[in-house]
């Protein structure tokens, strides 16, 4: 077990800027770590109301972008389209990366990651909804602060987010946006 | 329950840079959210080796800098000195922040916070050690990348880090530091 090695690897997530924002020339875009932290807080706070296993949801949030510290942040969707081949490839290398990062700690979370990417259990579906909601809120904030058109992100959110409570948050956000 | 309200408040943690680094003129210093994410990952991986409740420690990690969301990121210790009055002030604001930000969620954070600042339970003691270790590792990174001298962070961590596994990591870090200095 090498705690320092692990910490240095996680440290990369602070320096990694999220690709979606970089491509749209957002000034001082958030890092992968910043995104992940807000997703963690949302998962923790919302799990009881969403009637899903809180521990599982939070763990998903913690590991979901850890692989990006090895692979970089690869974008696999645009508007209402998901590039499935690309996503599959991304998930495969991320899974391997997470296993490498966590090698030697007894648990490599590959089962949990598998559950996440199969998107079948309530927890997995809810998790991706929260991940997307967090991103949409961030898009709203950048649009407001920096005047960059983020319509694409709202279109994705509207299309993909299915949980009623989270859907209603997206609708509220759209109302705020139209003002 | 207002999901957007919570999320927008949390956005501040992405924007707020940690005061200690600003004071040292670090270029592109880490944000509170980045620091919190780092310790959350360390907690997830290390809890079972340290014999502590992972869930409790993650909750501690989430709220341990909450006062910054209402006022500022207080620096309550430097090197071997702890500024007790400021620490009390921070803790009072923190409790208020927890009430304000999480008021609508079914989470017993106030008790947890008391446990955390009393520093008596095993979880709270280990939590602060992980927090210090993460900060010291960041200090090491900045020293190396930006050619700074951040000895006081190492001095401060030395007071806290006693748990054998974490202490071993801290000692290793000091060795690495010596080899590039």
* Per-position DSSP letters for B11-24, written without gaps between them: HHHHHPBPHHHHHT
CB A35 within 8 Å of CB A65: yes
Q: Is B180 exposed, middle or buried (0-12, 13-18, 19+ CB in 10 A)?
A: exposed
pLDDT exceeds 90 at position A118: yes
Domain boundaries, chain B: 3-180
> Which positions of chain B have pLDDT values less than 70?
1, 106-107
Chain B: closest CA distance from residue A9 (Å): 10
Q: Which of B24, B11, B37 is nearest to B148 (CA)?
A: B24
Question: A98-103 contacts: CB < 8 A, separation 24 or more?
Answer: A98/A63, A98/A66, A98/A67, A100/A70, A101/A6, A101/A9, A101/A66, A101/A67, A101/A69, A101/A70, A102/A6, A102/B45
User: What is the pTM for the complete model shown?
Assistant: 0.95
Each residue's pLDDT tens digit, A63-109: 999 999 988 888 888 888 999 999 999 999 999 999 888 888 877 78
pLDDT of amino acid B102: 83
Domain A3-177 CATH class label:
mainly alpha
If DSSP codes are grouped into helix, strand and coil, which group holds residue A71? helix
Q: Is B40 on the interface with A (CB under 8 A)?
A: yes
Quick one: CA dihedral B63, A124, A110, B52, positive or negative? positive
Interface contact flag, B48 A106, Cβ < 8 Å: yes
Flag whether the ipTM exceeds 0.90: yes
If DSSP codes are grouped into helix, strand and coil, which group holds residue B78? strand
Interface contact flag, B37 A166, Cβ < 8 Å: no
Residues of chain A numbered 56-95 and touching chain B (CB < 8 Å): 58-59, 62-63, 66
Helices (H), chain B: 3-15, 19-23, 32-50, 54-63, 67-70, 84-102, 109-118, 122-146, 151-160, 164-180
Between A41 and A106, the more confident residue is A41
CB B61 within 8 Å of CB B40: yes
- Choose the CATH number for B3-180 among 3.40.50.9100, 3.60.21.10, 3.40.50.10490, 1.10.3210.10: 1.10.3210.10
Q: What is the mean pLDDT of residues A36-61?
A: 95
CB B138 within 8 Å of CB B30: yes
Distance of CA A56 to the CA centre of its chain: 15
* Pair of tokens at residue B52: 């502590």
State in Å, rounded, how far the first CA of chain A is from the last one: 53
Chain B residues in contact with A30 by the CB 8 A cut-off are 14
Q: Is B9 exposed, middle or buried (0-12, 13-18, 19+ CB in 10 A)?
A: middle
Each residue's pLDDT tens digit, A123-161: 999 999 999 999 999 999 999 999 999 999 999 999 999
pLDDT of amino acid A5: 92
Q: Which of A160, A20, A143 is nearest to A170 (CA)?
A: A160
Task: Count the residues in chain A.
Answer: 179
Interface contact flag, B3 A166, Cβ < 8 Å: yes
Q: Is A8 on the interface with B (CB under 8 A)?
A: yes
Chain A: closest CA distance from residue B33 (Å): 5
Question: Which residue in B18, B33, B43, B130 has the most chain A C-beta atoms within 10 A of its own C-beta, making it the best mutation to test that interface?
Answer: B33
pLDDT of amino acid B107: 64
Interface contact flag, A7 B58, Cβ < 8 Å: no
Q: Is A179 on the interface with B (CB under 8 A)?
A: no
CB A98 within 8 Å of CB A109: yes
Q: Is B119 exposed, middle or buried (0-12, 13-18, 19+ CB in 10 A)?
A: exposed
């Amino acid at each position: 077990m090498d705690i320092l090695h692990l910490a240095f690897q996680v440290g990369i997530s602070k320096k990694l800027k999220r690709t979606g924002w970089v491509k749209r020339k957002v000034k001082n875009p958030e890092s992968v770590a910043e995104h992940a932290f807000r997703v963690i807080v949302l998962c923790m706070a919302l799990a009881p109301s969403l009637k899903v296993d809180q521990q599982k949801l939070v763990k998903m949030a913690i590991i979901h972008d850890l692989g990006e510290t090895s692979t970089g942040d690869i974008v696999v969707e645009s508007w209402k389209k998901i590039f499935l081949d690309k996503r599959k490839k991304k998930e495969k290398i991320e899974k391997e990366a997470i296993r490498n990062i966590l090698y030697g700690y007894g648990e490599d979370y590959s089962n949990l990651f598998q559950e996440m990417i199969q998107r079948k259990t309530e927890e997995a579906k809810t998790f991706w909804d929260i991940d997307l909601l967090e991103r949409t809120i961030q898009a709203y904030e950048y649009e407001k602060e920096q005047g960059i058109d983020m319509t694409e992100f709202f279109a994705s959110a509207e299309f993909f987010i299915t949980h009623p409570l989270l859907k209603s948050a997206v609708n509220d956000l759209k109302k705020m946006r139209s003002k | 329950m207002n999901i957007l309200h919570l999320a927008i408040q949390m956005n501040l943690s992405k924007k707020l840079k940690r005061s200690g680094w600003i004071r040292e003129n670090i270029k592109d210093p880490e944000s509170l959210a980045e620091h919190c994410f780092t310790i959350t990952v360390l907690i997830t991986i290390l809890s079972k080796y340290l014999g502590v409740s992972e869930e409790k420690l993650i909750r501690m990690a989430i709220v341990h800098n909450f006062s910054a969301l209402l006022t500022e990121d207080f620096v309550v210790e430097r090197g071997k000195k702890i500024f007790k009055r400021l620490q009390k002030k921070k803790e009072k604001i923190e409790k208020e922040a927890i009430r304000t930000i999480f008021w609508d969620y079914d989470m017993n954070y106030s008790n947890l916070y008391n446990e955390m600042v009393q520093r008596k339970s095993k979880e709270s003691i280990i939590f602060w050690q992980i927090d210090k270790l993460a900060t010291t590792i960041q200090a090491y990174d900045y020293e190396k990348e930006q050619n700074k001298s951040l000895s006081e962070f190492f001095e401060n961590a030395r007071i806290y880090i006693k748990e054998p596994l974490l202490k071993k990591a801290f000692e290793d870090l000091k060795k690495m530091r010596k080899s590039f200095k």
